[in-house]
Structure 1
């Protein structure tokens, strides 16, 4: 019945992937979304919330909630933004930095697991197709 339904099939895949990612990051006490935001800040200390929202495709209000949650856990903090005093910048704390290797290892393990499960070529094609489709749909 739903063989040709993009909405249904994409949501089924999304729920399955979410379960796998949630289990993987649960041991670090983070949701996948929080983990990816923290990885972004670790990779670019001083990044603005606006840039985080753009990079992760999230609404600014969602990023604010995620930043608040990570700050409450002591993993990142807001600080001055040298480029624009109207907007704060995000920096990892020492506790956040201490998670960097585990976050990277978890991300790499998930990448390898999915690439192995789907096959390297199929995995690479799927990721490319999803990125292209997102860009096309967003550009409508």
Structure 2
């Protein structure tokens, strides 16, 4: 099965997911929740649709992520017509440094295996595949 792209990438995804979960454990957030909060913190607020576009996630997935961050009092949501605008709370802002540290830890895990050039090539090849596979 190592020669099958589907099974190889699925196995890689599970392994990277496990490493990411461990890296973000100290934040109390999943990697997806942490990245969403990171983006809102960086931009000092964002439209929910912008977040979906940036993370390549469906509106329903973004809604689910946002609801959990709201319950944890890390973001607030304000509706403007049909759009939802997210702002960070002071509690959410406090986590930014820990989120950055977790991302750095995650990157160090695989940077010791792949060179920067190999990482860039892998991302480019993955992006090419995604672009063609996600055509609607």
Task: Using structure 1 for the length normalisation, give the TM-score.
Answer: 0.88
Which structure would you say has the larger RCO, counting Cα contacts within 8 Å and 6 or more residues apart? 2
2:96 corresponds to which residue? 100
Q: Tell me the matched-pair count.
A: 136
Which sections of structure 2, spanning at least 5 residues, go unmatched? none
Cα deviations by residue, 1:56-96 (Å, 9 ceiling, x for unpaired): 11111111111000010011111254xxx321200111011
Stretches of structure 1 that go unaligned for 5 or more consecutive residues are: none
2:83 alignment partner, SS class: coil
Give the alignment of 1:1-140 within 5 angstroms: 2-79=1-78, 81=80, 85-139=81-135
State the superposition RMSD in angstroms: 1.5
4+ residue runs of structure 1 moved beyond 4 angstroms?
A: none
Partners of 1:65 and 1:48 lie apart in 2 by 15
Q: TM-score, with normalisation over the residues of structure 2?
A: 0.91
Report how far residue 139 of structure 1 moved: 2.8
Query: Partner of 2:28: helix, strand, or coil?
Result: coil
